[in-house]
Amino acid sequence: MKVLRIIPVLFLCLLAGPPAASPLKIAVNSTTIESFPVFAAADAAELIPVPNGRAAMSQLVTGAADLATGSETQALINSVTEPRLRIILTLAECRYRIVARGSAGIRRISDLRFKKVAVTANTSSQYFLHRMLLSAHVDEAVVQMVALEGPDMPAALEKGTVDAVAIWEPHAENALRALGSDAVVFEDASAYTERFNLNTRTDVLANTEKRAAMVGLVRAIVRSSAVLRKRPPDLISSLSPRVGLPDKTVMAVWPQFSFTASISGKLRAALFEVEPWVAATQKRSPRSRDDLAALIDSSILSAAERR
């Protein structure tokens, strides 16, 4: 009788087939427009919305997520403690802006001397300010940096708590609107252009099922990115709510973005350029070009493009 009870169960299991593979878990910054390609393409994945790139990378480092979005600064910062981190795709490139109060006597970058400038500490925001000051031959020591999160910057600027903010979108645009005619804007793509990437770990890459799922995901991202480049209105209205923004704000800052869905030599150059700053903040020696090149794994993109 025991055998008779077991056989039907086994038979049903055989009919059902092997258990379905668990979906990829992607920690995605739910406050930035750079995340649009992931939101547009990740129907079969489990998204973990987080408020910033630091939180996304934390999910990846702790193993709570298989992939995470984030700038090249976050990849460099986190890869020291988690050397298995790999960049598998650049989702977007974005130009940052410094928005300052003209009434504070700011007309050029050099006028930031002795002024209060808001940055989000240990992120691409702070690195952007570093590069902009360097380009104007301004010593960082004479600038009073104020640590703020991006969403808090426009109000601080409007109230006069700070004299300028150095930040990504949409916070720069919101700061500009808050100041109105008093706003002075500085940007320089050659000083810094963010590379916003999709990151994973080598153990995830080595998992056959997850690797196949990543190839499908990247293929979908490449397709959605092409639509974002050629026909942005087709997707903006459905994607804007995913990052809590009205369409008009997204359209206002759209020229700041390029949805590349690629891995280019610019990424390698950016890693080498940013690494000394990251090393200084972590009080260590910069890594070599070969060490930094190893952070990039183009095999998923190559597989996605072959099919």
Indicate the number of domains in the chain: 2
Whether 254 maps to a domain, the answer reads yes
Domain boundary, last residue among 135, 162, 186: 186
Tens of pLDDT, residues 100-152: 999 999 999 999 999 999 999 999 999 999 999 999 999 999 999 999 999 99
Residue 129 contacts residue 113 (beta carbons within 8 Å) = no
Residue 89 contacts residue 221 (beta carbons within 8 Å) = yes
User: Which candidate, 252, 220, 212, 254, places its Cα nearest to that of 95?
Assistant: 254
What's the pLDDT band for 15 if we cut at 50, 70, 90?
very low
Q: What is the CATH number of the domain that holds 285?
A: 3.40.190.10
Task: Compute the average pLDDT of residues 48-73.
Answer: 98
Burial (0-12, 13-18, 19+ Cβ within 10 Å), 33: buried
Whether 1 maps to a domain, the answer reads no
What range defines the domain where residue 268 resides? 22-93+194-306
User: Which candidate, 42, 93, 94, places its Cα nearest to that of 68?
Assistant: 42
User: Which candidate, 127, 122, 171, 175, places its Cα nearest to that of 147?
Assistant: 122
**Same-domain status, 211 and 284:** yes
Residue 143 contacts residue 113 (beta carbons within 8 Å) = yes
What pTM was computed for the model? 0.92
Whether 2 maps to a domain, the answer reads no
Whether 17 maps to a domain, the answer reads no
Whether 209 maps to a domain, the answer reads yes
**Same-domain status, 172 and 205:** no
Sheet holding 97-101, edge to edge: 144-147, 116-119, 164-167, 97-101, 183-186
